Amino acid sequence: MGKQMRTQSSNIQSLQSLSSQLQQQLAQTPKFPIKKEYKDCSEYRLDGYKDTGLYNITLSHALSHNTVWCDMTTDNGGWTLIQRRQDGSVYFYRDWAEYKNGFGNIDGEFWLGNDNIHYLTNQKDYRLRVDLWDFEGNHRHAEYDDFKVDDEKAKYLLHFGKYNGTAGDSLKDNNNMKFSTKYQDNDNWSGNCVQDRKGAFWMNQCQAFNPNGIYHFDPKYNAHDAIWWYSWKGTYALKKVEMKVRPMLFHRF
């Protein structure tokens, strides 16, 4: 009987010791936060994320997570990129379906997709920022309040408000225009602006901004099919363009 009691006592002590070890291990285990769904890059920035790069967001009404590029440095960061041109690695003279769904490489040249841009810009009130660089390293930017894109039924009708920036306003004639591609001509010109400019976009009687045109490596190239912002460099080719959005009520740090 005494031997049995000693064995039970030893087992209890072993269990107590094991329990103590487990409690210590649990105390030392990192406490990961509950998985959170972010709607755009600004929500990551407000949560303390500071690194520019790839992030996952969940758009309202979208069927899956979207990987986006977040600019966490420009004007305190929090910008979600919807377009980038920088090296001519991606062909942009594409049709309606490709612009609807998006294409390219998120860490390089890409178009986020008109459906995604619609879902993104209808979650909150957004500001559009366009950053422009020439081949000499000069930089200009333009910002537009109340940037929003309607759905496909409305031909992704574009809306925006007040301009501010250093590049001049080359987007004003595009307001309240439908999106056009090479075989979907929704502009107000007698011809086809996209076929003339070699780049799909929101067109009126063509436009003073051609972000999706042909990438030309020659800074002296001066023609309608290049990437250009008329109020800064006329139709001379630009080296890099980024289009990005951020909520208008974003809190600056």
Q: What is the pLDDT of residues 173-195, one digit of tens each?
A: 999 999 999 999 999 998 899 99
pLDDT of residue 29: 43
42, 222, 187, 221: which is closest to 129 by C-alpha?
Answer: 42
- In the block, tokens 């912002």 appear at 229
What's this model's pTM, rounded to 2 decimal places?
Answer: 0.85
Q: Which helix (H) or strand (E) holds 171?
A: none
β-pair type (201-202, 179-180): antiparallel
Q: What is the pLDDT of residues 218-239, one digit of tens each?
A: 999 998 999 999 999 999 999 9
The mean pLDDT of 89-111, rounded to a whole number, is 97
61, 63, 66, 64: which is closest to 40 by C-alpha?
Answer: 66
Would you state the structure tokens that stand for residue 251, as one six-digit string? 């809190």
Q: Is 112 left (phi over 0), alpha (psi -120 to 50) or beta?
A: alpha
Entry field: residues in the chain: 253
Mean pLDDT for all residues in the chain: 89
Pick the CATH number of 41-247 from 3.90.215.10, 3.30.70.2740, 1.10.150.120, 3.90.1150.10: 3.90.215.10
Ranges of each domain in the chain: 41-247
Q: What is the pLDDT of residues 66-78, one digit of tens each?
A: 899 999 999 999 9
Q: What is the pLDDT of residues 128-141, one digit of tens each?
A: 999 999 999 999 99
Count the Cβ atoms, other than its own, within 10 Å of residue 72: 18
Would you state the structure tokens that stand for residue 78, as one six-digit string? 């929090």
Would you state the structure tokens that stand for residue 16, as one six-digit string? 């107590």
Q: What is the pLDDT of residues 36-53, one digit of tens each?
A: 899 999 999 999 999 999
